[in-house]
């Protein structure tokens, strides 16, 4: 299958908002793929070079990619900024560059053999394998070879895949529908298989190769991370009790990093919330699991926190330093010690636990955890007890509480009302930095004023701006990271790829004509950098609006509208 066919499909998807038509188009396309093409094609349509479970990464920065494209474009690179101003889309801007290049050098383009889906994957594999001395030059040679054979529209989507910004409006949920339709398999079976495997591209391959028998009763694979179950933000404890039928299980929501632990016959691997392998960064947690866990095989969930000499939680950013470090671990482990608290069991000794009720899973977890602590818990039907428990959690340095319905199953990848997050004040928002400005005075030379955006469909919409919250050291590091993903410079301001997620506190949300979203955060300040989350996990503009409306339970609408 030619890569051009996939590109033509993506162009059609971009031009329609009819979900049924999108599913039908993708379904017909999947039917025409071979077994070996289907996983790469599905991954690419979702903006991934490799499937989620694959540990390989391209590790290509926008700086590297733009250098290759500008070298190929020559004098036509100026078209990029002109097109980006008009569309706001990096891929479309690259397409404009290649259209100029093609018009000037049509004969050279016609001599190139067309790319296939499998050739694109093979080149991606070569890029991911480039390591050590000379790796950057090798990556650039491979990228140049790839883009030199690409048509303008192919260059557009190659760029989107490499930077992870597809924006066709076709997300994983719709892909599940398309796979079910293409291979005549009940949607529920496809969805369950996607939950268990953590990746719809693998499910599509299994459906193509084996049909329904390939996905029914599909079990967990040890060392293949699973999408975590997600929680909604609750406006109050009262809302939780109403939703959970007057009784709920409350757990401390620790100020740490969520981890998924896989163990089989003494071998242990630990995955982050984003399903990346962080085992090497947490040797003491590996040792603790090996010594204490009373199981042959297990998949567990827990929270890792960094603790100070006073045994109180250290700021989240210190913990992220541990997660990023893969060398001299012993040295950093002394300065940033970590602790593990378990809160769920998903799989145990060959049996899936996700269909069992929360209270039963918790009891099983307690039986196998040995001396490993579980998150502090209370089951109550008393609002006053719950409020006291929330206050105690915050006073001990934690974020707040999780509330879990007593009979809730574990639903991988699903954000429902079985689980809630509760915090004392207006809930912080996970937002994406989409632009930044250079500071003044002491901060001259640093990108220190950040434009914060919420997810809005396939794009992002700005809801605020802040220069508060980060230390000088963090601002310096943030500047370094942002410079690597700059798309465009405008005087003192840079536009960047929406890659970096930050957790943002604020005093309130107001209506404002200043931003296209119509919303503005008042006194916004960054609490922490969420390297454990990707931009696809940022809060949506709908969440921002819902919090805005909830403010009027306690204040007049006139005050909120000012």
How far apart are alpha carbons 39 and 44 in whole angstroms?
9
Residue 367 CA from chain centroid, whole number: 32
How far apart are alpha carbons 493 and 436 in whole angstroms?
6
Task: Please say whether the beta carbons of 155 and 65 come within 8 A.
Answer: no
Task: Please say whether the beta carbons of 266 and 290 come within 8 A.
Answer: yes
How far apart are alpha carbons 258 and 492 in whole angstroms?
37
How far apart are alpha carbons 539 and 554 in whole angstroms?
23
Task: Please say whether the beta carbons of 429 and 544 come within 8 A.
Answer: yes
Q: Does residue 253 have an active-site annotation?
A: yes
55: left (phi over 0), alpha (psi -120 to 50) or beta: alpha
User: Of residues 139, 227, 253, 499, which has the active-site annotation?
Assistant: 253
Please list the helix, strand and coil fractions of the chain in percent, rounded to the nearest 5, in that order: 45, 20, 30
The first and second tokens of residue 200, run together, are 């719809």
Pairing of strands 230-233, 415-422: parallel
Q: Cβ neighbours of residue 335 under 8 Å, at least 6 residues apart? A: none
Show the DSSP H helices in 58-151 as ranges.
Answer: 62-73, 78-87, 90-104, 106-111, 117-129, 135-148
Q: In what order do the strands lie in the sheet with 338-348?
A: 267-272, 257-264, 297-306, 338-348, 351-352
How far apart are alpha carbons 427 and 408 in whole angstroms?
24
Q: Cβ neighbours of residue 562 under 8 Å, at least 6 residues apart? A: 510
List residues bridging with 496 in a β-sheet. 486
Task: Please say whether the beta carbons of 529 and 317 come within 8 A.
Answer: yes
Task: Please say whether the beta carbons of 506 and 522 come within 8 A.
Answer: yes
Q: In what order do the strands lie in the sheet with 400-404?
A: 230-233, 415-422, 400-404, 248-253, 377-380
Residue 385 CA from chain centroid, whole number: 35
Q: Which of 536, 522, 503 is nearest to 315 (CA)?
A: 503
How far apart are alpha carbons 115 and 145 in whole angstroms?
11
Q: Which of 36, 57, 14 is nearest to 164 (CA)?
A: 57
How far apart are alpha carbons 125 and 138 in whole angstroms?
12
Give the residue numbers annotated as catalytic, written as ranges.
Answer: 253
């Amino acid at each position: 299958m030619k890569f051009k066919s996939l590109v033509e499909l993506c162009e059609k998807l971009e031009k329609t908002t009819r979900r049924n038509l999108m599913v039908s188009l993708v379904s017909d396309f999947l039917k025409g793929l071979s077994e070996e093409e289907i996983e790469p094609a599905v991954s690419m349509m979702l903006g991934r070079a490799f499937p989620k479970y694959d540990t390989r990464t391209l590790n290509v920065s926008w700086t590297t990619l733009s250098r290759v494209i500008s070298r190929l474009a020559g004098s036509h690179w100026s078209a990029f900024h002109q097109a980006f101003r008009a569309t706001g889309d990096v891929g479309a801007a690259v397409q404009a560059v290649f259209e100029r290049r093609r018009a000037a050098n049509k004969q050279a383009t016609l001599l190139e053999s067309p790319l296939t889906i499998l050739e694109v994957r093979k080149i991606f594999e070569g890029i991911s394998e480039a390591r050590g001395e000379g790796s950057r030059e090798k990556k650039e040679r491979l990228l140049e070879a790839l883009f030199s054979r690409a048509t303008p529209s192919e260059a557009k989507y190659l760029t989107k895949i490499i930077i992870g910004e597809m924006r066709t409006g076709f997300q994983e949920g719709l892909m599940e529908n398309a796979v079910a339709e293409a291979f005549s398999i009940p949607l529920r079976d496809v969805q369950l298989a996607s939950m268990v495997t953590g990746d719809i591209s693998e499910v599509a391959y299994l459906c193509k190769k084996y049909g329904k028998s390939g996905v029914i009763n599909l079990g967990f694979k040890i060392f293949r991370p699973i999408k975590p179950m997600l929680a909604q933000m609750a406006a109050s404890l009262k809302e939780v009790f109403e939703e959970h039928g007057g009784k709920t299980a409350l757990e401390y929501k620790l100020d740490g990093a969520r981890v998924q632990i896989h163990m089989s016959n003494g071998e242990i691997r630990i995955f982050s919330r984003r399903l990346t392998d962080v085992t090497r960064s947490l040797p003491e947690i590996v040792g603790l699991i090996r010594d204490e866990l009373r199981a042959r095989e297990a998949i567990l969930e827990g929270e890792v926190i960094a603790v100070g000499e006073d045994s109180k939680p250290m700021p989240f950013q210190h913990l992220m330093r541990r997660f990023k470090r893969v060398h001299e671990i012993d040295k950093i482990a002394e300065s940033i010690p970590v602790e593990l608290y378990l809160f769920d069991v998903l799989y145990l000794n060959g049996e899936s636990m996700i269909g069992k009720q929360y209270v039963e899973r918790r009891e099983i977890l307690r039986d196998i955890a040995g001396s490993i602590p579980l998150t502090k818990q209370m089951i109550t039907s008393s609002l006053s007890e719950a409020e006291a428990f929330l206050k105690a959690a915050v006073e001990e340095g934690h974020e707040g509480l999780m509330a879990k319905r007593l009979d809730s199953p574990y639903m991988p990848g699903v954000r429902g009302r079985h689980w809630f997050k509760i915090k004392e004040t207006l809930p912080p928002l996970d937002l994406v930095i989409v632009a930044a400005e250079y500071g003044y005075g002491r901060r001259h030379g640093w990108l220190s004023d950040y434009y914060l955006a919420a997810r809005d469909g396939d794009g992002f919409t700005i809801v605020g701006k802040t220069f508060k919250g980060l230390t000088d050291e963090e601002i310096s590091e943030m500047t370094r990271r942002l410079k690597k993903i700059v798309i465009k410079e405008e005087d003192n301001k840079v536009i960047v790829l929406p890659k970096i997620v930050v957790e943002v506190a604020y005093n309130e949300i107001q209506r404002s004509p200043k931003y296209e979203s119509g919303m503005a955060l008042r006194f916004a300040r960054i609490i922490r950098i969420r390297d454990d989350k990707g931009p696809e996990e940022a809060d949506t503009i709908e969440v921002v609006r819902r919090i805005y409306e909830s403010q009027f339970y306690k204040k007049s609408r006139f005050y909120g509208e000012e």
